[in-house]
Amino acid sequence: MEEEKKDDNIVNAKNKKKEKEKPGLNKHEPIFGILDPKKFNFSIWYFLATLVILMVFNSLFFQPKSIVTIDFSEFKEKIKSGDIRRVEMGERHFLGLPLTKEETKQVNSGEYTGQKPGDLSQRYRTVRVDDAGFVKLLDEQGIEYYAKPPENKTWINLIFSWVIPIIFFVIVWRFINKRMGMAGQRVMSFGENRAKLVAEGDTGVTFKDVAGVDEAKAELVEVVDFLQNPQKYHAIGGKIPKGVLLIGPPGTGKTLLAKAVAGEAKVTFFRISGADFVEMFVGVGAARVRDLFKQAREKAPCIVFIDELDAIGKGRGVSISSNDEREQTLNQLLVEMDGFDSRDGVIILAATNRPEILDPALMRPGRFDRQVLVDRPDLHGREAILKIHAKDVKMDKSVDLKKVARGTPGFSGADLANIVNEAALLAVRAGRTLVEQNDFDNAIERVIAGLEKKNRLINEKERKIVAYHEAGHALVAAFTEGADPVHKISIVPRGLSALGYTIQLPTEERFLMTEDELLGKIDVLLGGRACEQLFFGKISTGAANDISQATEIARKMITDYGMSSKFENIVLNSHKGPTFLSTPIGGGQREYSESTQQYIDEEITRMVKKRYDKVSEFLESKKPLAKKIAEKLLEEEIIEGKDFKAMLSEK
């Protein structure tokens, strides 16, 4: 018996193998190369398409083709001539038949013996005409006639009257929902919040990936520790801050810190932008705030991160016209952050780069207890950030990231990430497999001055003016006490309007500047124009940006820093009241008299003229050296810092 079962199993296996080998029998093979039964899903659209095809096929191939449509007068002539022996009277047409009812039965049974010429299947049709004498004609000619009952098309009427309109309405409804950005949602579900729920590990960022903002990171590490070990804080009677506000310029890593919190906290993390609360309908933003906090309380302990808080947290009553929707949204946010019910385990994390416009009620303790500054990194911070972004980049051993960090003062974390990426792209463009130090230098220049444009056609006269202009900047910078050392001089055009540039790299981080150092910056800026006038006897528009910066420094020295002889230690640039696009509302009224404004203008003019005369006198004494530097620029286009230093040391 066991042997027979084995034989049956072998036979069944062979049969299955043969079935698989037969084309079209494999259930996983597409039928005719079109439909795959494994992936096929039934849809009502397939049924409707099949129904329409069958109706069209029936009307084309199964309707009698021997029916001839003729005029009503010709139809009556056919009756008189005997071609029509029987008439079917329908709602819209008369149908003439060549045989009577009895003769039709005989033809079907094969007993017909009549000698009627013509085709026995020929039929004639005409449009029904209300002719009172038509029935009389039929009686006179002995023609059989009968009325055809109206066709019962209830199911067709049902399809066209109900089914198709409903289907059309559903399609339009879905289309409207998708166009309004709420596919799969109810059209009126505006009140549901748009927060994105980020699960553990989805961000792929931890505190190890954040550098240059150690103080801010320490504040957030404490928040994460409270969420993971709340008992040790409760044991001593401490309470974690309800809200932490990250403040800092764009690109400093505020959102990156929030992602790191999501990666470290191991708790539910909601992420939403301030603009997601704003809607055209009044009250919708407040409803979204309520819904967000309701979900957060249900999933506590959790973190709610609101990016760009200034979109909804702008101060109330400071703008020209009030916005009821925004103010209601802000009011609801204030209530939710400091309501009567408990918020244990729900921490609000927000980020903004415009803290000065936020509502004071939002900034008070009990709502955003901590305000963490995420500032631009210092020298060591920039070096640490560069190491993080460069860890996956193949670099030559000669690359000195500390030098790159020293050459990027004031750069944010996003700027440094861009520099590393630009250096890698430049290395690939040059056909190298390793990134060299020169690639980083070029990347810094590209970010500061713009894209290099070696093919820009500049006539020899303008090129010579640019060379002497940059020589003036470099020479004044080299002999000005406290000025940053010259790193590179170039007359290669970059960006939109830079025909040349002089790069200075600081030797150390500076946070304060003395009056002499500010005057030295003005001297360096005026050196280009003074050198043009010294060698060509006239000035050009190439110094437009230089004199703009010099004027601004002089103005701030007088109005902001209190460095004027008449108004010593007095600030003259304060504006009270709200601002709109950095301009005081109400015409920009100043808090000082017209005579003081006149003094400011005259003092700026006097200061800049005095520095210009000093720079001109200095360049006159160094005229041969300035000419030598300019001629080398015209010859080589670029002078590196070490070569420039060597030229200064020559006798």
Kindly report, residue by residue over 185-243, the tens digit of the pLDDT: 443 444 455 555 555 445 678 888 888 888 888 888 888 888 778 888 888 887 777 88
Kindly tell me if the per-residue pLDDT of 304 is higher than 70.
yes
Are 438 and 512 in the same domain? no
Are 551 and 644 in the same domain? yes
CA distance 242 to 572: 39
pLDDT at 578: 45
* Domain end among 373, 396, 430: 373
| Residue 647 neighbours by CB under 8 Å, 6+ apart | 625, 628, 629, 632, 639
What residues are paired with 352 via a beta bridge?
247
CA distance 631 to 580: 49
pLDDT in tens, 486-507: 988 988 888 666 788 888 888 7
Are 574 and 601 in the same domain? yes
CA distance 547 to 605: 12
CATH number reported for the structural domain that contains residue 477 in this entry: 1.20.58.760
Whether residue 167 lies inside any domain: the answer is no
CATH number reported for the structural domain that contains residue 241 in this entry: 3.40.50.300
- How large a percentage of the chain has pLDDT more than 90? 23
**Least confident range of 16-20, 270-274, 470-474:** 16-20
Rounded to 5 degrees, φ, ψ at 60 are -85, -35
> Other C-beta atoms within 10 Å of 551: how many?
16
Are 589 and 645 in the same domain? yes
pLDDT at 22: 44
**Least confident range of 45-49, 166-170, 293-297, 632-636:** 45-49
Kindly tell me if the per-residue pLDDT of 134 is higher than 60.
yes
Kindly tell me if the per-residue pLDDT of 571 is higher than 70.
yes
Whether residue 187 lies inside any domain: the answer is no
Are 598 and 557 in the same domain? yes
Q: What is the mean pLDDT of residues 345-374?
A: 86
- How large a percentage of the chain has pLDDT more than 70? 76
Task: For tokens 């006897």, name the residue.
Answer: 537
Are 323 and 369 in the same domain? yes
Are 469 and 434 in the same domain? no
Helices marked H in 142-281 — which ranges?
154-158, 164-179, 214-228, 231-235, 254-265
Q: Residues with catalytic annotation?
A: 470
pLDDT in tens, 42-101: 555 666 677 677 666 655 555 555 678 888 888 888 888 888 888 888 888 888 888 888
> Other C-beta atoms within 10 Å of 211: how many?
23
CA distance 591 to 398: 56
Q: Which of 629, 636, 567 is nearest to 596 (CA)?
A: 567
Whether residue 190 lies inside any domain: the answer is no
* Domain end among 391, 419, 449: 449
Are 220 and 314 in the same domain? yes
pLDDT band (50, 70, 90) for residue 323: low
Are 554 and 521 in the same domain? yes
Whether residue 92 lies inside any domain: the answer is yes
| Residue 364 neighbours by CB under 8 Å, 6+ apart | none
* Angle value at C-alpha 477, between 560 and 525, nearest 5 degrees: 50
CB 413 within 8 A of CB 377: yes
Are 271 and 338 in the same domain? yes
CB 602 within 8 A of CB 625: no
> Other C-beta atoms within 10 Å of 267: how many?
18
- Per the structure block, which two tokens stand in for 476? 């004044």
* Domain end among 449, 482, 511: 449
Compute CA 384 distance to the chain's CA centroid, rounded to the nearest angstrom: 29
> Could you tell me which residue, 137 or 183, shows the higher pLDDT?
137
**Least confident range of 159-168, 320-329, 382-391, 493-502:** 320-329
Q: Is the peptide bond before 301 cis (omega within 30 degrees of 0)?
A: yes
**How many domains is the chain partitioned into structurally?**
4
CA distance 163 to 370: 61
Are 352 and 424 in the same domain? no
pLDDT band (50, 70, 90) for residue 649: confident
Are 552 and 615 in the same domain? yes
Whether residue 16 lies inside any domain: the answer is no
> Could you tell me which residue, 176 or 486, shows the higher pLDDT?
486
Q: What is the mean pLDDT of residues 323-348?
A: 74
Whether residue 32 lies inside any domain: the answer is no
Distance of CA 387 to CAs 6, 402, 406, 413, 417, Å? 69, 10, 14, 11, 10
Whether residue 163 lies inside any domain: the answer is no
CATH number reported for the structural domain that contains residue 77 in this entry: 3.30.720.210
Whether residue 334 lies inside any domain: the answer is yes
Domain that holds residue 577: 460-649
Predicted structure pTM score: 0.62
pLDDT at 282: 60
Residue 181, helix vs strand vs coil: coil
